[in-house]
Each structure stands twice: as structure tokens, then as C-alpha cells.
A and B are shown apart, each in its own frame.
Chain A
């Protein structure tokens, strides 16, 4: 139930409860659109009933419009929305298989359940068939795997692939949808197959169509969208931050966290990838400063409960990265004071012990020599080996809903 659960506004265990209500709602919609009737569903393939097309196309453009505008207005944090990954091979084959099953059986997964619960035996058989298929797929997965994972293109948008702005794609899509509605209505009217199924269902769709057109045109005409501003801090808030200096983490604290593997700090190296490759702190992820404004980075930085520490060679770059992130509304970002230079000063060259981490001078001295030895003995090298680069950091993905029908 994003974004309420990832942001920990609602307990994650309520997920299933939400799923229940959403499921009931979806079932209701399917039923009252008439989708528990196989004849109605198969109509789209035989050309006498295009309700399926109308319902799903309408749902699609409503969602697309809604998302577009909500993103524009800052009501949705788009980085939290799951985009299906595209695997071309499996999409084509899977789509064909699904289409064949749809025509043969007259149902698709969701509608089969809606029909089965009202007692239709053919729907129950369909469900049984579905499970057999799932079982076989799992059983023979090694055979399917190459196809299943082939031609991965990424989490792409159509408009990106086509190279057009999102608002234009939306507009054209809506035009296509409206044209489709009109054309399919004409086809239905002239169809002689199963004429008895054509209940008088001429809705007056003119006004809704006009609304859609107006919205689509507005989408194009709107001034350039600024990225979601609702989370950003105002200049007042940033001014306060300007003088406070509590976003620093001392090198000793970081060393401590590394030596004892406390996993409480998430290190982010904001230098460029060359410097990162040459050397980086163990467990640090590389996120060059210029890439901070990328979309998928928001997931990484948006981690409630985690403390993220930016570091660079000195503290200039990290500070700038911090300023950007702070202004963008990410609250839990810190900066390694003095950067790697200071880190090395303190741990190896006996630099000054900062007061913040000084529970007792002797204790600190002992820790420093432990840390120095720890790092020298190759621990740093061992752990330093597995460097990760954004965006292929799967364990940092937040909970996201999978699509499905």
C-alpha cells in the first residue's frame, strides 16, 4: 500500500487487509462490467462486443492521466511507483500464450475468479488449468529461463523509447482511445454475431470524452513540470540548516562502524566512478554528485530509518551533495567531516582526535590503533572489493507492488 507503508505511516502487516478490500472492489468492478460472462469477454476477439477493450483502455488512460497530473502537482512521489521491467522475448511469447488461452477459455485470470465465485463451472476449470500451467512453468523453469530473462530492456516508458515528451504521448494515446471507442461502437452496431448479447447499452459518452480531451490538451499546454516540489525544503528551512552543523559524522565514528561491522551507516561515495574504482571505503556505494537528481536515485536516498553518509576526498563535494539532498527533502543524510583525507589523517597519521568521539583519550588511542591495524591487514581491501554502483543495487529497492491482471 505505497507510499503509506514504505514511509511507515501505516503498519506493513495491514498490507493483506488492504489487498482484501482492493480485491473486493476489483471483483465488483469486473462483475458489474459483465466480465463474469465468457461470451462477453471473448467478444473482443470475435468482434461483436468490445466492452473489454473499452473498460481496459478507459482504465489505462484514466490512470495515465491521473498519474501524469498527480506527479505534476506533486501529489505523488513518482520514484515510489513501480515500473514493470520489460523483457521483450518473454513479453511477446507470454502475451501470445495468454491471448490464446483467453480466446480458448473465454476468461483471463482476474475474470475467471470473478466468474468462479458465482458458480460458473467453466471458470473453475479455467482456474484449475491456470494452476496446472503455473505448476508446469515452475517445474520446467530451467527450460524457460533463457527466454524468460532474455532481452531485458529496463524499466522503460513508451514515450522515452519513442523519443517524445510524455505529455504528447498522453495526448495521442487519448486520441487513439477515443477513436477506438467510436470505431468499435460502429463495429458492434453492424455486427450480426450473437446479436442477442447486445443489450441496449448506448451510454452518452460525449461529455466524458470531452473531459478527457480537455485534460489531455491541458497536459500538453502546461508549463514545464518541475520535479515534485512538495518534499523540498523552503529557503527558510535551509537557512536554519546553514548555521547548524549537526549533519557531520566524524572519521572515527565511521571507522568504528566499519571495524565492528555495525551496519548502521550507509556510505555513499559522491566522487566520480574513476576515483571510486581506485579506492573506496568498504561497503560504500558510488553515486557521482551529478547523478543525484536522477529519478531512480530517489529510492536510494529515500530510506526511512537509515543513516546515509556522503563522503568525498575532502568535504566540498560531499557538502554540495548534502545541500542538494537536504534541499530536496531527504532528511537523514550526513557528511563525513573532512572526507577521506581526514579519515586517513585520523586513522593512520595520528591526526587530532575530534572531541565528539572521545569517551576517554586512552580508549580512543587504543581504538585508533585497532582500526589502523584492521584496515592495514587487508580487511579494507577485502571488503572494498565488492563495490556497487547505482542503479543496480537490488537490495535497496523498496517494497513495490507487482503488476498483474
Chain B
């Protein structure tokens, strides 16, 4: 009889163990299917990353000049700077949306409704880039950021166009680093007079 009892115990153990395992996993799976785990974002993180790779989403000034005219297809410029900065001057017909209010329901509604390509700009490149990432993560598809910042745009593109900057991209190496490193200490005055070579891109 003792053997039989042991047997039953073992049976029970196996059954209980596997049942427990089963319940934990199915319970977890069901919960996860019910819960929304998107954390409030519309697009998966990795997808956003692949999406922004390659610089197509940053608009160079050359392209800006082509589209910055009333005959072109609708675009909406979105000015991310503060109130005062906006008042002092902004792009014609730009929508004002300070960074702090970018993600409110109101703003997102306005942005989504703007049946046009959205071009973000602000007083520093990294800000418009950050905003771009945020909006892309929230699911806005037709959004890009303008290269550089408003100051640069105003002075060197609108007022006194400087062709050097037409293909300006902040991510291009401005200096020829290695050359500078290698040659600086060879110069007689300890490199102080050596000008780092500006890397100029763009063409005619």
C-alpha cells in the first residue's frame, strides 16, 4: 500500500507542478494580451530608429528655398521656440508650438489635422531633432525637421544667402579632424596659426 501512496504523491506532485506552470504562463499571456503595452506611443522604438536613419528627414536649406513659396504644395512650418522668440520673427505662416506644449492633446490634434507636410524648426538643431523623434514615435508620418536653427536660416539663407550653407548639415564633419591632429604639432608656432580645414560640401 505504501508504494501506491508514494505513487499517488508523485502523480499529484507532477500534476500540481505542471498545472502551476501552466497557470502562471497562460495567466501572464492573457494579461499581456489585454494590457496595452505600447506605453502611449504609436510606433515601436526600433521602427522609429530605422525610420530616421539616413538623413532624409532633415531638410537642407537648398530644398527649403525650393518649397518656401506660396505656389508650392501645402507645408506647415512649426516653430518650436518660446513666445518671445516667436514674436521677434518667424517664418511666414508658421504655426507656433513651444516645446513644452508639443505633446498636448490640443497640439497633436492641430498637427494631425494640418493636411500638409510638417517642417519643424527651433533655435537649436538638437531641439528640433528631439521633437522630430517624439512626433515620429507618436505616429505622425509626414514630419521633418529643418537643418540648423532659425538664426542661421534668417541670416544666411533668407537675408544674405550664403551658398556654402545650402547643403549644410550639422552632422557633416566641419573639421578634418585627423589631418588637424596630425599636423598641428608640426607647425613652428605650435599649431596656433594652423587653421582647421573646413570641409566644404555642396556644388553648383
Interface residues of A, Cβ cutoff 8 Å to B:
62, 65-66, 69-70, 72-75, 199-201, 203-205, 207-208, 211-212, 214-215, 218, 222-223, 226-227, 229, 232-236, 238-239, 242-243, 275, 278-279, 289-290, 292-293, 312-317, 319-320, 323-324, 327-328, 335, 337, 339-341, 344-345, 348-349, 372-373, 375-378, 380-381
Contacts and interface: CB of A to CB of B under 8 A. Distances in A.
A376 B48 CA distance: 39
A323 B130 contact: yes
Interface stretch (B33-41, B64-72, B151-159): B33-41
Contacts of A375: 181
Contacts of A211: 18-19, 21-22
Nearest to A229: B37
Nearest to B18: A208
Contact of B18 (A199, A212, A345, A381): A212
A381 B185 CA distance: 12
A376 B31 CA distance: 60
Specify which of B21, B29, B44, B49 lies most central, judged by the most chain A CB atoms within 10 Å of its CB: B49
Interface centre among A201, A341, A376, A381 (most CB of B within 10 A): A376
Given A313-B173, A315-B170, A320-B133, A235 B126 contact: no
Interface in B170-204: 170-175, 177-178, 180-182, 184-185, 190-191, 196
Given A229-B39, A341-B173, A218 B134 contact: no
B177 A340 contact: yes
A218 B38 CA distance: 22
A15 B31 CA distance: 33
B178 A278 contact: yes
Contacts of A327: 41, 45, 137
A275 B171 CA distance: 11
Contacts of A236: 40
Interface residues of B, number: 63
Nearest to A238: B134
A87 to B, nearest CB: 31
* B interface secondary structure, majority: helix
17 contacts: A66-B21, A74-B37, A203-B11, A204-B14, A208-B14, A226-B37, A235-B39, A239-B103, A243-B100, A293-B49, A316-B129, A323-B134, A339-B170, A341-B170, A348-B184, A373-B190, A376-B181
Contact of A235 (B25, B40, B50, B170): B40
Given A200-B7, A341-B173, A289 B49 contact: yes
A314 B170 contact: yes
A316 B138 contact: no
Given A234-B41, A376-B184, 19 more contacts: A73-B31, A75-B28, A201-B7, A207-B15, A207-B18, A211-B21, A218-B29, A232-B39, A234-B39, A243-B99, A312-B171, A316-B129, A320-B49, A324-B49, A341-B175, A344-B196, A373-B190, A376-B185, A381-B181
A93 B41 CA distance: 51
A73 B34 CA distance: 12
B62 interface: no
B75 interface: no
B53 interface: yes
